[in-house]
Chain A
Amino acid sequence: MLNSDYVRVEHLSHRFHLTRKIAIDALKDVSFAIDRGEILGLVGESGSGKSTVARCVMGILKPTGGRVIYDGIDVNAAKLSRDENVRLQKERQIIFQDSGSALNPRMSVRRILSEPLDIHGLSRDREAREKLLIQNLDFVGLDPGVLESRPGELSGGQRQRVSIARALLMKPKLIVADEPIASLDVSIQAQIVNLFKHLQAEHGFTFLFIAHDLAMVEFLCDRVGVMSKGRLVELAPTRQLYDSPQHPYTKALLAAMPIPDPRRERSREIPVYHAPEYVTRQEWTRVGFDHYVLMER
């Protein structure tokens, strides 16, 4: 499972304290690795801990257990050199679910896109910057006319494209997208996923794609991890996972995918997965080439 040394997520756990007494285990011992240039999808119902993984990988949250290693750098290490910090800030970029709140509503698109450049003091020359901004807008299919607009004047799809353009500006090596299509209309979702596929092929960044839409994940990702109740329960290459799911939760999840044929859709039976209340001992088992399942012993 941890066969790559690019991004390694090792025994990640996170506990949120809601009040002094109530705590929620958002993540329990999650481990996986992402290869360079790979698109890894993470699926699971809401509350399964997908976003927490994304936030830990980005260093927004400090996990209460385990660690995330990005290209040899411990993301949550207490002390990082300046170089390492700058590398982490430039090479990893995040795209959020709600582009409405991920872009400062008071800033024009130009200022939003300029922000990472300003922070790192890049391309101060006006013309060069203008060219760079227009080029990146072009990558995501927006024309330069939007530069003066504010996020409130754009549609949801356009805003998400601006978010993507901002992430691309830093020429990242790793993009983490936390449910980037969940808040969009279905027709726009397809556009954005298509855009991701093109951009990834073009720019070659590594991509951690978090979603709960299985069809989109199947279309986009090379490998897929399935999460349930804070645990990673299955991890396999996409084809293999969709063809022969092993974990009961994965089976239930895949079975719930609608079939675009009303007759079959109506007549089929959907299995329901009940997570066991008390988990005794679970262990990762290799069931096929690069296919791992969390199994009870």
Chain B
Amino acid sequence: MSHEALHVQHLHPMPTEAQLAGELRFKVVGRLDTHDMPRPVSGRKVRLPWVSIAVLAIIALGCLLANIIAPGDASYMDLASPAKAPCAQYPFGTDMMGRSIFAMIWHGGRVSLLIGVLATALSTVIAVVYGTVSGAGPVWLDTLMMRVTEIFLSVPSLLIVIFLQAILGPANVVSISVVLGVTSWPTIAKVVRTEVRQLRQSEYVVASRCMGGGFMHVLIHHFAPNFLSSIMFMVVMNVRGAIASESTLSFMGLGLPLEIISWGSMLSNADRALLTGAWWIILIPGLFLVVTLVCMTNIGNALRGEVNRGERNL
């Protein structure tokens, strides 16, 4: 509908251009000069952890450019030199099967990071849909859905992961992402649900619905901006959690097989490395893993924002 069409509906003629320019036909009492108003600083301050971002960026870039940094097949086994300590040819040494750890770090990092992102994307989508439906739905549906999440949370996730792995067949990158994704949504869903439940009572949402805003409109314009900031922290933590879970599962032999290189599967023959004291096989992939997780934690914590507590009384 055009601007003109609006006029027709109105009971009174619209002011002319001249009136708009200042000659309004009525005087507004108590005109306020908005420029004089002090503007309070609102919102929490987010101080970005630049060091963590930089380190994470370097690791991610290295993984992306794995083919340039360490060209060739990372799973190539130099059978002549297994468990070789770091040297000129192999900067990080080789593992028990004679594979270059340096090459595996970058190629395997791709897999680890990819699993983290895929699993989190999946769980976030599930969580947002589930949480919004639960929060915006009638009370009985909400109660039911929240009970389901509680039961879901009470089943040991290791078990669900193992069973799902069994159903999906031999583990690969996608299947393990799906498994980790469908087991890690409830906590985010709960936060989304709580936010939506509070917001839908708020007057601006009621006003929006009165104006004719449909469910999608309210979700995009009112719900999402509010819960996004509170789940951003959890989303980053979820990436971290998925990477850690993948490495734990692969290490235990319940995740990716040895042939699919990830930071976790690189550690899965650590027990043999332990016997020979080949520290580089254990320490180097683990250090990359831990540094990545620490950077993500710092970024996540920064996203949560700093709490300004004020003066202490003690």
Contact = CB atoms under 8 A, between A and B. Distances in A.
Whether chain A touches chain B in the assembled complex (some CB pair under 8 Å): yes
Given A145-B35, A152-B40, A115 B3 contact: no
Interface string A105-134: 111000000011011111101001001101
A150 B40 CA distance: 10
Interface stretch (A25-33, A90-98, A267-275): A90-98
B114 to A, nearest CB: 33
Given A89-B212, A140-B28, A195-B28, A149 B6 contact: no
A201 interface: yes
B313 interface: no
Given A140-B28, A198-B26, A152 B42 contact: yes
B202 to A, nearest CB: 6
B39 A119 contact: no
A125 B33 CA distance: 29
A157 interface: yes
Given A141-B32, A143-B34, A202-B26, A60 B212 contact: no
A204 B14 CA distance: 12
A146 interface: yes
B210 A94 contact: yes
B69 to A, nearest CB: 42
Contacts of B11: 37, 171, 173, 203-205
Contact of A119 (B204, B211, B225): B211
A106 B209 CA distance: 17
Interface centre among B204, B208, B222 (most CB of A within 10 A): B204
Contacts of A194: 29-30
Nearest to B228: A106
A138 interface: yes
Contacts, number: 134
A146 B34 contact: yes
A202 B30 CA distance: 17
A82 B35 CA distance: 43
A53 B202 CA distance: 18
Interface size class of B (residues with CB under 8 A): 35 or more
A173 to B, nearest CB: 7
Contacts of A96: 203, 206-207
A139 B29 CA distance: 11
Nearest to A59: B210
B49 to A, nearest CB: 24
A138 B3 contact: no
A155 B204 CA distance: 17
Nearest to B225: A106
A89 B31 CA distance: 30
A158 B12 contact: no
B32 A158 contact: yes
Interface in A140-168: 140-143, 145-146, 149-150, 152-155, 157-158, 166
B200 to A, nearest CB: 12
Nearest to B1: A122
B309 interface: no
Given A103-B204, A104-B204, A191-B30, A153 B40 contact: yes
B20 interface: yes
B27 interface: yes
Nearest to B10: A171
Interface string B13-53: 00100001000111111111111010110100000000000
B9 interface: yes
Contacts of A142: 32, 34
B272 interface: no
Contacts of B1: 120-123
A62 to B, nearest CB: 13
Nearest to A191: B30
B3 to A, nearest CB: 4
A102 B204 contact: yes
Nearest to A188: B30
Interface string A187-211: 0101100110010011111000000
B202 A101 contact: yes
Contact of A85 (B6, B208, B212, B217): B212
A275 B232 CA distance: 54
A166 B210 CA distance: 12
A145 to B, nearest CB: 5
Interface in B167-202: 202
A135 interface: yes
A170 interface: yes
Interface of B: 1-3, 6, 9-12, 15, 20, 24-35, 37, 39-40, 42, 202-204, 206-213, 217, 221-222, 225-226
Given A135-B15, A201-B26, 11 more contacts: A37-B11, A60-B206, A115-B208, A123-B6, A142-B34, A158-B34, A173-B11, A194-B29, A198-B29, A203-B12, A205-B11
Q: Which are the 5 A-B pairs with shortest beta-carbon distances?
A: A89-B212, A141-B28, A191-B30, A194-B29, A171-B10
